Structure 1
Amino acid sequence: MAQAVEDWYKQMPIITRTYLTAAIVTTVGCSLDIISPFNLCLHPTLVVKHYQFWRLITNFLFFRKMDLDFLFHMFFLARYCKLLEENSFRGRTADFLYMLLFGATFLTGTVLIGGMIPYLSESFAKIIFLSNSLTLMMVSFHLFKLLKLFYW
């Protein structure tokens, strides 16, 4: 059994394996109180005024509690990230990384700009972790690629 899990993990593409490992380690570290989630969240003031640039990355790695929701997100992340990297971006690992960076930048920009709009700022201020959104972006991207194959 352990050999099967190890083989499955080693056969995973590099970007998928790295992101999955970082997400699991970060979430487990927070669940065990080794890492504080307050040091990972997206806080615009701390990023801009105190130069805590790691928050731009770490907010995509923390999936809150280790529960059934976490397991589903890890399944979606492992499955759809792997499918995208192996099929849609076959042989173009850098392009897949750029797609993830573009999606992460777009999500972060949306939250930061939305936080400056007067009537929407309270809603956007509550969004401090974008990990679920990035996973949903990958699932949506994969589904749109499938729809394109079948209908266009």
Structure 2
Amino acid sequence: SLAQRKRVTYLGVYKLITPFQLYFNPELIFKHFQVWRLITNYLFFGPVGFNFLFNMIFLYRYCRMLEEGSFRGRTADFVFMFLFGGLLMTLFGLFVNLVFLGQAFTIMLVYVWSRRNPYVRMNFFGLLIFQAPFLPWVLMGFSLLLGNSIIVDLLGIAVGHIYFFLEDVFPNQPGGGRLLRTPSVLKAIFDTPEDDPNYNPLPEERPGGFAWGEGQRLGG
């Protein structure tokens, strides 16, 4: 959860634990059974600074908008997306030199949201205006300007695209079908038996609150 990510980051900042105890290392995981690294590498975003704040804002905003929008009443499916994305990133992490995958996970959430809201017009820092599907690429360019490796962003975009294609595109293609199915055990744990049909949520594509990646539906 977001609270767990913040807690681990704060522990790292105040030296109660160090990044060396958290980072993704296949050898330490599989040979020395330090299996916690499969999770902790997603929870650390570095010392408090601009990059940390940037990731926290985007993680909170787009996670919340997905949960309250297209995943409303489908908590088990939301959790399954987390697990599926985390599994793919971990597998890809075996072949790329990345030690922390939290930022890639954030980009994955942004990508899924942006593809599900293709007609939302974004305003990035008041400088760029574009439609939502370009947001992950704009973030990648901004990350490049900050001197960060774009491999992290490319990984998040790739995993987000795989999930979006399997969940939203392929089932609607001729001869296609649903390949991703949420396990019944997750539905039993997370889904409530009834939903309020009179609930009228705020539009998913109205981020609000910050000018970073603010959205507005075209024609609105």
Normalised by the size of structure 1, how large is the TM-score?
Answer: 0.76
1:58 aligns with 2:58: no
Q: Which consecutive aligned stretches of 4+ in structure 1 deviate over 2 angstroms post-superposition?
A: none
Query: Which of 51, 55, 76 is the equivalent residue of 1:69?
Result: 51
How far the C-alpha of 1:65 sits from its partner, in A, is: 1.6
Following superposition of structure 1 onto structure 2, how do residues 26-105 of structure 1 map, counting pairs within 5 Å? 26-105=8-87
User: Which deviations, in whole Å up to 9, do the C-alpha atoms of 1:61-89 show, x marking residues without a partner?
Assistant: 00012101111111111110011111111
Determine helix, strand or coil for the equivalent of 1:90. Answer: coil
Flag the 1:93–1:148 CA change in 2: closer, same or farther, 3 A: farther
- Mark the runs of 5 or more structure 1 residues left unpaired by the alignment: 1-18, 115-123
Show the counterpart of 1:12: none
Partner of 1:15: none
Deviations 1:104-131 (A, max 9, x none): 111110111x2xxxxxxxxx23x10000
SS at match of 2:63: helix
Residue 144 of structure 1 is matched in structure 2 by 115
Q: Distance in 1 between matches of 2:28 and 2:108?
A: 26
Q: Which has the higher strand share?
A: 2
Among 132, 135, 144, the residue aligned to 2:103: 132
Alpha-carbon deviation of 1:24?
1.0
The number of residue pairs the alignment matches comes to: 122
Tell me the distance in 2 between the aligned counterparts of 1:131 and 1:78: 13
Distance 1:111 1:36 in 2: 21
Deviation at 1:36, TM superposition (A): 1.2
For 1:37 and 1:20, locate their aligned partners in 2 and report how far apart those are by CA, in whole Å.
18
Rounded to whole Å, the distance in 1 between the matches of 2:104 and 2:88 is 11
The normalised TM-score by structure 2 is: 0.53
CA distance in 2, matches of 1:96, 1:77: 14
CA deviation after TM superposition for structure 1 residue 148, in Å: 7.4
2-structure distance, mates of 1:101, 1:58: 14
Alpha-carbon separation, structure 1, partners of 2:51 and 2:31: 34
Q: C-alpha root-mean-square deviation of aligned residues, in Å?
A: 1.7
Ranked by relative contact order (alpha carbons within 8 Å, sequence separation 6 or more), the top structure is 1
Partner amino acid, structure 2, of 1:60: Y
